[in-house]
Amino acid sequence: MRKHVLALLFSALAGATALATVMVPLSLDQLTGESDAVVLGHCIDKRVYKTGEMIYTEYTVRVYDVLKGSTLKEVKVVQPGGESGGKGIYVAGVARFAPAEEVMLFLGKDIGGRRDLVGWSQGKFTIYYDAKSKTKFAVRQLGGIGFMKKSSGEISSGKPEQIKLDELKSRVKKIIAEQKAKAGKK
């Protein structure tokens, strides 16, 4: 049953499309496959910086678990946009982090000590603890991305995408193993 729910969740997500920043949603398989690293951690710092007139926001995440990639203790995630020196740049669809926010991240390659999120906000799951069920859940904040049937392009549901963290981790680990096996055969 769980497998069916998960399959439904991610297949539904795979068909969603949102506007401006308009994104084509990525399946969990795609997210995992395209990631250089998949980690869990807490956001511990934020810094906004400029390169000329371009502004970026850099978040520092302290890593406590690595599902994919080499060992990492800390990772710096950079997203375009922010405010610095009296100037601001606004780009919809980029991910933002809260203080001490617990997250699972699908990260691009390390370029000069910094990484991008795969698919911007699609590459970030927020983790929260549900005291009632004593369970950790992962929720993805997609900045308005809905859920669309891939075949017809019609909206099927507007519910937030959330999943038990353990299930999400298992799923990602399974995908990683499958992708490794596939790569090994080649």
Partner 1 sequence: MRRLLLLLLLLPAAQLSYGFITIRTNTGAIVHWTADPAYVINPAITNPISKACVEDPAVTIQEAFGRWLSIPDVARVATYGGSTTSIKFCGMCSGGIERVDLTPPDPDFCENNPDAGCDAENNILFSKGDYFSTMSGSILAVTVDQYEVATGVMSGSDIVFNDDVKWSDDPSGSLIAGCTTHDPYPALFAFPAVATHEIGHFFGLDHSFVGFVGNTVDWSVTGTMYPIYFGTSDWPKMITLEPDDQAGIYYQYPGLPGPAWGSIQGVVQRLSGEKMFGVHVVAVRKADKTPAADALSGPDGTYVLFGLTAGDYYAYTESPNINDRFFADYISNYYGSAEKAPFPMLYNAIQLSSFSQLSAGSTTFDQRAVLVTVAADTATPGIDFLYPAIIREHHHHDDGGCDINPHAGSRPETDLPAALVLAAVLALALRSLWKKASGRERVRPQNGS
154 vs 181 by CB, closer to partner 1: 154
Q: Is 168 exposed, middle or buried (0-12, 13-18, 19+ CB in 10 A)?
A: buried
177 in helix, strand or coil?
helix
Contact 181, 169 (CB under 8 A): no
Q: Is 157 exposed, middle or buried (0-12, 13-18, 19+ CB in 10 A)?
A: middle
Closest distance to partner 1 from the beta carbon of 115 (Å) = 9
The CA distance from 173 to 186, in Å, is 20
Closest distance to partner 1 from the beta carbon of 120 (Å) = 6
69 is a contact residue toward partner 1 (CB under 8 A): no
Closest distance to partner 1 from the beta carbon of 90 (Å) = 5
Token pair, residue 27, equals: 């399946």
35 vs 67 by CB, closer to partner 1: 35
125 is a contact residue toward partner 1 (CB under 8 A): no
Interface segment toward partner 1; rule CB under 8 A; list 3-11, 18-26, 67-75, 173-181: 18-26
134 is a contact residue toward partner 1 (CB under 8 A): no
What burial letters (b/e) apply to 65-75, b meaning 16+ CB within 10 Å? ebbbbeebeeb
**Taking each helix axis from N to C terminus, what angle separates 2-14 and 165-185, rounded to the nearest 10 degrees?**
70
41 is a contact residue toward partner 1 (CB under 8 A): no
Of the candidate residues 6, 11, 29, 46, the single one contacting partner 1 (CB under 8 A): 46
Closest distance to partner 1 from the beta carbon of 64 (Å) = 16
Closest distance to partner 1 from the beta carbon of 63 (Å) = 15
177 is a contact residue toward partner 1 (CB under 8 A): no
How many residues touch partner 1 under the rule CB under 8 A: the total is 81
